[in-house]
Structure 1
């Protein structure tokens, strides 16, 4: 029987800047009574990675630009929050109805540059995306391997919207140890018809599955996915970003 299981890693405390995230996850696994095995996928939410890396900012430390002030007045927002978004932005893709869709430095296209005040646990404080989520995933993978003597793939996830669908879903921001893409081009369907365009964002599908256990207020920042036979790969989650020339929404 083909089975894929999801296991929440419980007992991980609130993460602070400078915390050893791998050590906290290892303790959480021990608390949960779950032992990692080779071939498992460790899915970790972006917020705890960002917190451990000190990617948390306070509104009071930002002087808003004239653009931020004007935008904030028009849409009744805090100009300091807008300034924080702008500092993480390499290009504004769309600015409409009080929503800033931007391209970040690493290339992610998302609302508000991924800047989020939820679960910051303080007023007027925001959490930024990791500077390099792939590097964060590699460090976590390597440290887990050192501590627990087991090699797993690591995914770092965040909640994103999609241009043609309502509602949010989890996507993969950073990856280590597995190919984020399942390319089925050159294979055939059940009727023998050749597949020419089917490329599956398998890392996003795994991220969304793990998200079922990562409830917003559930304090579950890590999930182990077991049973999916992934392709070992040393690359980047950035290959999931559609090139601008092929993106009908940019």
Structure 2
């Protein structure tokens, strides 16, 4: 029916262990005849990790450190980090629920590759062209609670673009881009339930999102903003500390250097009088050198002495 979406999350899925045939487990739970072209198969990352042998033992904090590329924010025992997949998550996405005591579940080695493999195997066994989404749970800045997002995908559009389209009132849309893979993940979580032991689901009603056979698409990795492209590369406290420390290796999350006009404005907001030059430099007095260094670092510029003034230049690429 137009405008309808159905989600089937079957019960009775057995415990998955390393080496299990994930496609066989899924198709047994769903029944092959229930899978059709245009369906989207959604599977939790935990069940993928278990099948791929990503359940480990040892110190949880040590494993978080291994999976972390940098700390984004920390409040007490809670650490939000950017992990090796580029995802920004609490505890690097490591989980110790729904697993034997003393064990830890790491995220799949490559969730997009896992999705591609599952899609290919399902196509071989039942002849259906389906999309596949691998999900995990994540929090959201500015909002309480968590929801499932797509961390792996194959054969499905993950991001729609409405830029350039016109709404019913004649207004042109500029940056509207629904993250449809994340929306599918969130919808499926409602049917699965957090404690329902339903790690798979079949979504029907959005065949328009499923790519032609043989086309896997860019995967869920394409939803991750590159370092420096995110406006919130550090938490509020961490951003201050990184700017004060001024280590070159901490520059990337602050983004590309701003224009001279933006830097002059930022310095002014910090109570520092500065002037831009035709050469693209910025100059200001030396009387607040420490503050100038901090503001410049956070905006992608470097400071050098120039006679009685300070000369500021953007960091070279």
Would you call these one fold, judging by a TM-score over 0.5? Answer: yes
Could you tell me whether the CA contact under 8 Å between 1:163 and 1:249 is conserved in 2?
no
SS in 2 for 1:182: coil
Q: For 1:165 and 1:199, how far apart are their aligned partners in 2? A: 20
**What is aligned with 1:249?**
232
**What is aligned with 1:172?**
150
**What is aligned with 2:52?**
53
Aligned length: 227
Q: For 2:232 and 2:102, how far apart are their aligned partners in 1? A: 32
Displacement after TM superposition at 1:9 (Å): 2.8
Could you tell me whether the CA contact under 8 Å between 1:9 and 1:25 is conserved in 2?
no
Q: For 1:34 and 1:46, how far apart are their aligned partners in 2? A: 25
1:101-132 C-alpha deviation (Å, 9 max, x unpaired): 11111211111010000001x11111000010
**What is aligned with 1:75?**
none
**What is aligned with 2:39?**
40
Q: For 1:134 and 1:99, how far apart are their aligned partners in 2? A: 27
List, as ranges, runs of 4+ consecutive aligned residues in structure 1 with deviation greater than 6 Å. none
Displacement after TM superposition at 1:10 (Å): 2.9
Q: For 2:110 and 2:28, how far apart are their aligned partners in 1? A: 25
Q: For 1:12 and 1:148, how far apart are their aligned partners in 2? A: 19
Displacement after TM superposition at 1:29 (Å): 1.1
Could you tell me whether the CA contact under 8 Å between 2:131 and 2:210 is conserved in 1?
no
SS in 1 for 2:222: helix
Say whether 1:126 aligns with 2:104: yes
The alignment's C-alpha RMSD in Å is: 1.3
Written as runs of structure 1 = structure 2, the 5 A alignment for 1:146-165 is 146-165=124-143
Q: For 1:176 and 1:215, how far apart are their aligned partners in 2? A: 24
**What is aligned with 1:8?**
9
- Choose 13-22 or 212-221, whichever is displaced more: 212-221
Q: For 2:4 and 2:141, how far apart are their aligned partners in 1? A: 32
**What is aligned with 1:24?**
25
Aligned residue among 176, 188, 193 for 2:171 = 193
Q: For 1:206 and 1:16, how far apart are their aligned partners in 2? A: 26
Q: For 1:4 and 1:46, how far apart are their aligned partners in 2? A: 23
Could you tell me whether the CA contact under 8 Å between 1:159 and 1:169 is conserved in 2?
yes
Aligned residue among 83, 87, 92 for 1:108 = 87
Q: For 1:90 and 1:128, how far apart are their aligned partners in 2? A: 15
Displacement after TM superposition at 1:215 (Å): 1.5
Displacement after TM superposition at 1:179 (Å): 1.4
Q: For 1:193 and 1:231, how far apart are their aligned partners in 2? A: 29
SS in 2 for 1:189: coil
**What is aligned with 1:74?**
none
Q: TM-score, normalised by structure 1?
A: 0.87
**What is aligned with 1:209?**
187
Displacement after TM superposition at 1:151 (Å): 1.1
Could you tell me whether the CA contact under 8 Å between 1:10 and 1:29 is conserved in 2?
no
1:112-170 C-alpha deviation (Å, 9 max, x unpaired): 010000001x1111100001000000000001111111110000000100112111000
Gaps spanning 5+ residues in structure 2: where? 234-317
Displacement after TM superposition at 1:35 (Å): 1.0
